[in-house]
């Protein structure tokens, strides 16, 4: 799919008539807020790097090792177990902190000779309930961590095995990528262009008119976002946004 660039009139560029491409990179977090991807390397290539990989992949005498669905399913179970454990850990910490604060308050009453007061008696009753709740949440915390730890060990073993096999295959299958890319570059008679987004997730790049591919990648805890977007630069100034919606998500093993 080609990306037709949106004319960008908010800024004025002067560069001897050469167009400028404005790239804006960001992701939406769990709270629904957009977060800029700062310090993100962005490259403009005058060739399609994925086409080279596809050609080398097709020429390989052996197929690329796939990631079995069960490995990804185990990874997802591990991630859910981790989230459950962290929620249990958070709840236990809240109860424990409440209990610590209450104990300090009760000690202060006792130091002032208020042990027989109604407020002290109510505090003791609350402490008994919190004691029970702290033991319960601690048991849950320990159990959920044990489940997560067991699943994580299995997932790591599976992932390592597949990752090593895929890396060994890629080392052979893609050994000539650099040679092929250099040939495409020479054929295009253009140079690769590289820059990095600023604190706002924005980078402004001077680029000759023509067909380009915008290449970048961003690593998340369990996946990599990969962009290799074909774009046509034909206006004086244009804007393209890269985010999760136009990225390819690749699992990290």
pLDDT digits (tens, 9 = 90+) for 40-96: 999 999 999 999 999 999 999 999 999 999 999 999 999 999 999 999 999 999 999
Residues 96 and 131 in one domain: yes
How far the first Cα of the chain sits from its last, in Å, is 28
Percent of the chain with pLDDT strictly greater than 70: 93
Predicted pLDDT of residue 17: 63
Stretch 196-205: mean pLDDT: 96
CB 18 within 8 A of CB 171: no
**3-class secondary-structure state, position 215:** strand
Could you tell me which residue, 236 or 103, shows the higher pLDDT? Answer: 103
Specify the residue for token string 């001077």.
Answer: 206
User: Phi/psi class of residue 32: alpha, beta or left (left: φ > 0; alpha: ψ in -120 to 50)?
Assistant: left
**What pLDDT shows up at residue 124?**
95
Q: What is the model's pLDDT at position 19?
A: 87
237 is a domain residue: yes
Say if 177 falls within a structural domain: no
Residues 102 and 129 in one domain: yes
Asked whether residue 164 falls in the same domain as residue 137, the answer is yes
Higher pLDDT, 185 or 8: 185
Q: CA 68, CA 159: separation in Å to the nearest integer?
A: 10
Q: How confident is the model at residue 8 (pLDDT cuts 50, 70, 90)?
A: very low
Looking at the domain assignment, is residue 52 inside a domain? no
Q: pLDDT tens across 131-152, in order? A: 999 999 999 999 999 999 999 9
Instruction: List the domain range (segments joined by +) for residue 243.
Output: 3-46+190-251
Task: Clarify whether residues 121 and 201 are in a common domain.
Answer: no
Model confidence at 165: pLDDT above 90: yes
pTM confidence score: 0.77
pLDDT tens column, 96-118: 999 999 999 999 999 999 999 99
CATH assignment of the domain containing 239? 2.60.40.10
Would you state the pLDDT for residue 145?
98
Relative orientation angle of helices 118-173 and 49-59, to the nearest 10 degrees? 60
């Amino acid at each position: 799919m080609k990306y037709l660039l949106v004319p960008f009139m908010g800024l004025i560029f002067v560069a001897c008539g050469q167009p400028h491409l404005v790239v804006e990179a960001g992701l939406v977090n769990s709270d629904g807020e957009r977060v800029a991807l700062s310090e993100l390397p962005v490259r403009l290539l005058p060739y399609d790097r994925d086409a080279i990989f596809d050609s080398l992949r097709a020429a390989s005498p052996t197929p690329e090792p796939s990631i079995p669905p069960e490995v990804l399913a185990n990874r997802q179970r591990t991630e859910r177990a981790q989230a459950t454990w962290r929620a249990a850990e958070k709840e236990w910490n809240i109860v424990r902190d409440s209990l610590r604060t209450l104990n300090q308050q009760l000690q202060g009453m006792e130091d002032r000779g208020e042990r027989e007061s109604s407020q002290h008696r109510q505090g003791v009753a609350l402490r008994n309930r919190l004691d029970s709740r702290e033991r319960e949440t601690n048991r849950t915390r320990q159990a959920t961590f044990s489940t997560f730890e067991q699943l994580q060990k299995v997932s790591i073993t599976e992932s390592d095995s597949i990752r090593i096999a895929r890396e060994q295959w890629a080392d052979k299958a893609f050994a000539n990528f650099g040679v092929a890319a250099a040939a495409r570059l020479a054929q295009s008679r253009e140079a690769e262009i590289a820059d990095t987004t600023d604190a706002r997730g924005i980078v402004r790049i001077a680029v000759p008119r023509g067909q380009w591919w915008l290449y970048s990648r961003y690593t998340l805890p369990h996946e990599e976002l990969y962009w290799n977007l074909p774009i046509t630069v034909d206006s004086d100034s244009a804007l393209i946004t890269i985010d999760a919606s136009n990225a390819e998500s690749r699992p990290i093993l």
